[in-house]
């Protein structure tokens, strides 16, 4: 099957690292800032960064509703860290005016790991990723406080949920794009391929 085109939401965050990881995982990767660019991609990655800033810029760039519509319509989306927060139906410890796109029936707590430990790495066993555990890089990372019945928990760390999937929407608290191991991106590229057929 032909190579899928996958966008990386480029309002703020570690866009370049995701573009590189997607290219390694056999996708055509391109930054997405505007609704016209969003319309051209088969799937979308929402990077790590700062979810409050991303939310504000999504409003300013007129991207909030177009993004919500595509997620609702079933476009495959993968969010890392701040991106996970953007995909939560509900967040805790967010800013009062903070918007999310939703997409996963979960409650995510912002900066949940950050209070104890600003940044750390841990070995994570993730369902759906073959070939042994992945190295999880956590940077002021959120965790998933609770999930609805349709959500699959793919990984936990210290008893906290750190990777989930609901249908076409995938999210991790950690940042596979910052490691040389692109198996999580490969899993997402497969989701996008499946969504096109």
Residues identified as active-site:
81, 175, 177
**Contact predicate 89/102, CB 8 Å:** yes
Least separation in angstroms between CB 108 and ligand GLN: 9
- Binding of ligand GLN at residue 103 (CB under 6 A)? no
Regarding 135 and contact with ligand GLN (CB under 6 A), the answer is no
Which range touches ligand GLN (CB under 6 A), out of 23-31, 81-89, 99-107, 147-155? 81-89
* Interface with ligand GLN: number of residues (CB under 6 A): 11
Closest C-alpha among 101, 150, 141, 145 to residue 117:
141
**Residue 15 contacts by C-beta under 8 Å, 6 or more apart in sequence?**
8, 9, 31, 47
Position 49 contacts ligand GLN (CB under 6 A): yes
Give the CA distances from residue 83 to residues 6, 60, 197, in Å, rounded to whole numbers and listed in that order: 15, 18, 26
When the beta carbons of 71 and 87 are compared against ligand GLN, the nearer one is: 87
Q: Is 49 labelled as part of a ligand binding site? A: yes
Nearest to 27 by CA among 180, 169, 189: 189
Least Å distance, CB 56 to ligand GLN, is: 11
181 close to 89: Cβ distance less than 8 angstroms: no
Please check if 99 is assigned to a binding site: no
Distance CA 50, CA 86 (A): 10
Among 50, 105, 125, 190, binds ligand GLN (CB under 6 A): 50
Q: Which residues bind ligand GLN (CB under 6 A)?
A: 48-51, 81-82, 85, 110-111, 139-140
């Amino acid at each position: 099957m032909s190579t899928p085109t996958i966008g990386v939401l480029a309002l703020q965050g570690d866009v370049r690292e995701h573009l590189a990881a997607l290219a390694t995982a056999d996708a055509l990767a391109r930054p997405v800032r505007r609704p016209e660019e969003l319309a051209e991609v088969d799937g979308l990655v929402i990077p790590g960064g700062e979810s409050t800033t991303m939310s504000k810029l999504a409003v300013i760039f007129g991207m909030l509703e177009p993004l919500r519509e595509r997620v609702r319509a079933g476009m495959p989306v993968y969010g890392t860290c701040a991106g996970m927060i953007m995909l939560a139906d509900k967040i805790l410890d967010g800013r009062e005016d903070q918007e999310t796109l939703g997409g996963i029936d979960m409650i995510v707590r912002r900066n949940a790991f950050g209070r104890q430990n600003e940044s750390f790495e841990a070995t994570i066993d993730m369902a759906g990723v073959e070939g042994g555990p992945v190295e999880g890089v956590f940077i002021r990372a959120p965790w998933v406080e609770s999930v609805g019945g349709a959500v699959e928990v793919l990984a936990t760390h210290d008893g906290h949920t750190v990777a989930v999937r609901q249908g076409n929407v995938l999210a991790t608290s950690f940042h596979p794009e910052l490691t040389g191991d692109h198996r999580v991106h490969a899993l997402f590229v497969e989701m996008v391929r499946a969504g096109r057929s």
